[in-house]
Chains A and B, each alone.
Chain A
């Protein structure tokens, strides 16, 4: 049998994709945000509990799961507002909305907080997808609006019971920790009920990743995500700048990975040094380019907007 060699996207689709990339570059050029490029292969990866990396064994290097660490080193070096569009790699993520190699748009704005950056994300999405009303809900309020317990204060047992009581979907799998259960509830119960374009803000502190905690309420982080038509499109932080806190979070991640029986992540000492020397107050966000293109074109899967997906790359 001859292997299928043809691209998934039609020539017309690829023209539309090129136009979208040009539109993004123009958006940032108009705002004087600098386009940068950082290495895709680097000596370290990340410690994220739920992100698996691809290692290039012969080079003993990691394919980057996002350009975040390198861009923060640029920020610490005084580069200022910057963005890039880059391939990023996450092992095992393959489905309608996932491809192990995908394109991220990531940008950072100095002296922005989360609401300021959310306004800019909204402006870009309006340009790429056409204007539409933008909603915003706090993580906890979005749960409560769906009749679920308060995810910040309810006992894990109460959350489990709420998940079991849902009849419209299969029960969550056994062996989830509290955050895993919250992820299940968010994916299956909360996101489907969101307005067409909606930010979720104030994530639980346990899911802060690299966002700072709220000075008003340390149960939540200054982290936001954007969902468009139920598709997770962007994830942003008012960035943590405290190197000590970063080191502590990494250690917590590592402990969880090891407890689960997985290899610990590879901690990037260069980022720690950069943060210790001083990361400016900034907010940053990553937006899935393949997904925004999928939505712009009304496609069923990101694969339809790619030249070659994981299955025929």
Chain B
């Protein structure tokens, strides 16, 4: 993997520190006019999400981290692993249920996700911003309800539970924002 000099530092650059992959969040060049130059950076650990500060002597080099984001199709999960495929070459990647965590509730088979690979292994998975999911369970709404009144919980096919308007019924397709976990609208097949 290439190494990067501090002069190449910028937000989003993926580097290896103490053997862990990080992304640069913020980079500040600091230099007394006649003195030693420094780069003060904020970096986010790509595994833990923790943000830390580091200071480098300007001109130092740091090893790059072999991290890339790829669009992949979500295939299925067997409870232990979630399986994804790159559509170009049908190569499959498995991500542990532990790594997927809460994201799993937004993963629908065939949907395209953004998978971050580190040394070829999935590091994190971003679901699509919006997903369309079927309501598998919700209490019947009262007759005459309109979209302006109240809300109720609905369980979706992936297990996610979202607040929906009272007129939504079981079997309907909903569009949901995965960033907020909020109902957006009804959807058509």
Residues of B within 8 A of A98 (CB): 29, 31
The 10 A-B residue pairs with the shortest CB-CB distance, nearest first, are A95-B29, A183-B35, A170-B53, A180-B36, A183-B36, A170-B55, A173-B57, A170-B54, A235-B33, A183-B32
How distant is the Cα of A93 from the Cα of B28 in the complex, in angstroms? 11
B window 19-36: CB within 8 A of A: 28-36
Residues of A within 8 A of B32 (CB): 183, 186-187, 225, 232
Instruction: Please indicate which of the listed interface residues B33, B56, B58, B59 has the most CB atoms of chain A within 10 Å of its own CB.
Output: B33
Residues of A within 8 A of B37 (CB): 50, 92-93
Are A176 and B35 within 8 A (Cβ)?
Answer: no
Q: Does B38 sit at the interface, judged by CB under 8 A?
A: yes
Q: Does A48 sit at the interface, judged by CB under 8 A?
A: yes
Residues of A within 8 A of B36 (CB): 50, 176, 179-180, 183-184
Are A95 and B28 within 8 A (Cβ)?
Answer: yes
Are A92 and B52 within 8 A (Cβ)?
Answer: no
Q: Does B139 sit at the interface, judged by CB under 8 A?
A: no
Which residue of chain A lies nearest to B30 when distances are taken between CB atoms in the complex? A187
Residues of A within 8 A of B52 (CB): 170
| Besides A92-B58, A187-B38, 13 other A-B contacts (C-beta < 8 A) | A50-B36, A95-B31, A97-B29, A171-B55, A173-B55, A176-B36, A179-B35, A182-B35, A184-B36, A207-B34, A207-B35, A232-B32, A235-B34
Residues of A within 8 A of B92 (CB): none
Query: Number of B interface residues, CB 8 Å?
Result: 22
Q: Does B93 sit at the interface, judged by CB under 8 A?
A: no
Q: Does B105 sit at the interface, judged by CB under 8 A?
A: no
Are A209 and B34 within 8 A (Cβ)?
Answer: yes
Residue numbers of A with Cβ under 8 A of B are: 48, 50-51, 92-98, 169-173, 175-176, 179-180, 182-184, 186-188, 207, 209, 225, 232, 235, 286
Q: Does B40 sit at the interface, judged by CB under 8 A?
A: yes
Q: Does B151 sit at the interface, judged by CB under 8 A?
A: no
Are A184 and B28 within 8 A (Cβ)?
Answer: no
Are B34 and A50 within 8 A (Cβ)?
Answer: yes
Residues of B within 8 A of A187 (CB): 30, 32, 35, 38
Whole-angstrom distance between the Cβ of B135 and the nearest chain A Cβ: 44
Residues of A within 8 A of B31 (CB): 50, 93, 95, 98
How distant is the Cα of A93 from the Cα of B6 in the complex, in angstroms? 11
Which residue of chain A lies nearest to B7 when distances are taken between CB atoms in the complex? A92
Which residue of chain A lies nearest to B6 when distances are taken between CB atoms in the complex? A92
Whole-angstrom distance between the Cβ of A18 and the nearest chain B Cβ: 25
Question: Could you name 14 residue pairs across A and B whose Cβ atoms are closer than 8 Å?
Answer: A50-B34, A50-B37, A93-B29, A96-B28, A97-B29, A170-B53, A173-B38, A176-B36, A176-B57, A183-B35, A187-B30, A187-B35, A188-B30, A235-B34
How distant is the Cα of A93 from the Cα of B37 in the complex, in angstroms? 8
Q: Does B182 sit at the interface, judged by CB under 8 A?
A: no
B window 31-75: CB within 8 A of A: 31-38, 40, 52-60
Residues of B within 8 A of A182 (CB): 35
